[in-house]
Amino acid sequence: GIGKTRLATEVSAVLRAEGVSVAWAGCSPDGGTPPYWPWTQVLRRLGAPHVLAERAQGPGVDPAVARSLLFDEVVDTLCGAGPLLVVLDDLQWADEASLRLLDAVVRQLPTVPVVVLGTYRDTEPEADRLDELVAAERRLQLRGLSSDDLLPAMAELTGETLDPELAVALHRRTGGNPFFAAESVRLLRAEGRLAPGDGGRPPLPDSVRAVIERRLARLPADTWDLLRAAALVGAEPAVGLLAELSERPATEVAALLEPAVRARLLTFEHDRYRFVHALVIETVNAQ
């Protein structure tokens, strides 16, 4: 809910207006899709679904050679459709064959009229596979909206024009995450608490709690225990204090909390951790 798909949609609209073709594909989390599934979608939209099917069934050919020929043909098909934007949404769920093909396409991008825009949730464990595919300078990490930007975003997402005081409180609790904020606004509306002065502390919707709980559930047991202690300390616990409370060296505290940092539950700066927003603390304390 941070806005990655929306960003890709806006980029697609801009390039379409400039005469660029767009082929969009999404990856599925259920694991039941065939190999090369997102590329199958892309080629289908380009009118060439046969490319993958024909090569995949070629008998008597060395697998490595067959794969190389397949990748070359896919690149040639993309070039023939250029200028082209290929959007691959939710790449954290892509199968290994699709990622190998993506790697082959990426290597050809400097010489072809094709741009590939991939989106993924870096809080998912599967996202670690994507780090080596794209250079760091070609990655854009989406963060929460500013307090000022949250007002028009909520008007668009929920149809509500928020009281500025409520918007500030909402930003403080959600870190500007558009999904978290919109779900909170919808719950406030259902409770009749959107009028100025009626909101109080924005609530924690079940849908938002579920997202945070999924991230928490993936943490190792020792990380979870230390994170619970950090939540009791406050929004910005210092490393030294956590080391003292847990009777562990500061280096061990840092190692134990690294999974929580990777899961975007904590940030770290100047020897101090910081919960990304108050909803994380609330969810941890409720466990």
> Contact at 8 Å (CB) between 197 and 189?
no
Long-range (24+ apart) CB contacts under 8 A made by 14-23 are: 15/85, 15/115, 19/83, 20/83, 20/84, 20/85, 21/46, 21/81, 21/82, 21/83, 21/84, 21/85, 22/84, 22/85, 22/86, 22/87, 23/81, 23/84, 23/85, 23/86, 23/87
pTM of the prediction? 0.68
State the pLDDT at residue 58. 53
State the pLDDT at residue 12. 93
> From the CA atom positions of the chain, what is the Rg in Å?
23
Query: Amino acid identity of 92?
Result: Q
Task: Report how far residue 96's alpha carbon sits from residue 116's, in angstroms, rounded to the nearest whole number.
Answer: 18
Nearby residues of 233 by Cβ (< 8 Å), 6 or more positions away: 241, 242, 245
State the pLDDT at residue 43. 92
Residue 96 CB coordination number (10 Å): 9
Per-residue pLDDT of the chain (287 residues; tens, 9 = 90+): 678 888 899 999 999 999 999 999 988 887 778 889 999 999 999 988 787 765 545 566 677 777 888 888 888 899 888 899 999 998 888 888 899 999 888 888 888 899 999 988 877 766 677 777 777 678 888 888 888 888 888 888 888 888 788 888 888 888 888 888 888 888 888 877 776 665 556 777 788 888 888 888 888 998 988 988 888 888 888 888 888 888 889 899 999 999 888 888 888 888 889 888 788 888 888 87
The DSSP bridge pattern shows strands 272-275 and 21-26 to be unpaired
Task: Report how far residue 202's alpha carbon sits from residue 64's, in angstroms, rounded to the nearest whole number.
Answer: 56
Task: Report how far residue 81's alpha carbon sits from residue 116's, in angstroms, rounded to the nearest whole number.
Answer: 13
> Contact at 8 Å (CB) between 275 and 264?
no
Q: Is 6 exposed, middle or buried (0-12, 13-18, 19+ CB in 10 A)?
A: middle
Beta strands in 96-242 (DSSP E): 114-118
